[in-house]
Amino acid sequence: MTKDLVNAIAIDGPVAAGKGTIAALLAKRLKGFHLYTGAMYRCLALCCLERDIDVTKVDSVLSALSEIWFDLDGDIVYLNDQDVTEKLKQRSVTQLVPKVAAIGKVREEMVKRQQEIGRKKMDMGKVVVAEGRDVATKIFPDARLKIFLTARPEVRAKRRYEQMGGKNNATITFEDILGDTNERDRRDYERKVDPLVKNPEKMGYTLIDNSDLTEDETVEAVVSAWNSHIK
């Protein structure tokens, strides 16, 4: 094994490729730790909502961040020792979180904390599984395995459509969701901060297209890549 690599699996990829689901299943499968980085941004957004903090005031957001701590335990998320797992799914949180996640100083502090949490788990002998755009570039650039998880746009749009109720949801059509997915991909590839990588294999990622794979098969594909990387 190369010494300078850390026992982390970084998962990146476009919207609705199943990164979160696969990271959680994979952490269970490898008896590792799922570092759900998005939850930490969601916690900060929740805290801003509950304290009525104006998120355009960077100092107020940073001050709130300095007063909170996170704990992740499987699928449970704790904010200052309180289980906030369900609260984090609220629409108001989902809507506010991109605003707090866009603040550079918030990102710097989050990356620091994510590295600390991850390293503690690695010191305990656990594999850290994390998904998100900055995992392979900023949090664990020396991750032993970097996965680029993707699927054809139509497949990803279908997953999102089904999650939103599919034909039972009269307010959306599959074509709307496909249009949104393509637009989101375009923005993700073109954005200035942490854009989606265009040639993942050239950038050291193992590419997994799960268009025709089940969740279990996708997990197995990552486990097999992991096993060949730790040899």
Task: Scan residues 4-23 and list those touching ligand DC (CB under 6 A).
Answer: 20
Helix (H, G, I), strand (E, B) or coil at 200: coil
Is 48 a residue that touches ligand DC (CB under 6 A)? Answer: no
Distance CA 191, CA 183 (A): 12
* In the chain, alpha helices (H): 19-29, 37-50, 58-66, 91-101, 104-123, 153-163, 174-190, 215-230
Residue 70 makes contact with ligand DC by CB under 6 A = no
SS3 193: coil
Cα distance between residue 106 and residue 54, in whole Å? 14
Contact with ligand DC (CB under 6 A): which of 8, 129, 134, 226? 134
Which one of 77-85, 95-103, 157-165, 205-213 is the stretch in contact with ligand DC (CB under 6 A)?
A: 95-103
Q: How far apart are CA 47 and CA 29, in angstroms?
A: 32
Q: Does 226 bind ligand DC (CB under 6 A)?
A: no
Per CB under 6 A, does 101 bind ligand DC? yes
Asked if 38 interacts with ligand DC (CB under 6 A), we say yes
**Exactly one of 132, 159, 181, 200 binds ligand DC (CB under 6 A); which one?**
132
Q: Is 195 in the site for ligand DC (CB under 6 A)?
A: no
Tell me which of 98, 165, 179, 204 binds ligand DC, using CB under 6 A.
98
Q: Which stretch binds ligand DC (CB under 6 A): 97-105, 159-167, 169-177, 217-225?
A: 97-105
CA dihedral 17, 23, 26, 31 (to 10 degrees): 180
Give me 42's structure tokens.
Answer: 């969601």
Closest separation in Å from C-beta 97 to ligand DC? 4
Angle at which helix 91-101 crosses helix 37-50, to 10 degrees, equals 110
In the complex with ligand DC, which residue's Cβ is closer, 28 or 99?
Answer: 99
Residue nearest to ligand DC (CB): 38
Contact residues toward ligand DC (CB under 6 A) are 20, 37-38, 41-42, 97-98, 101, 132, 134
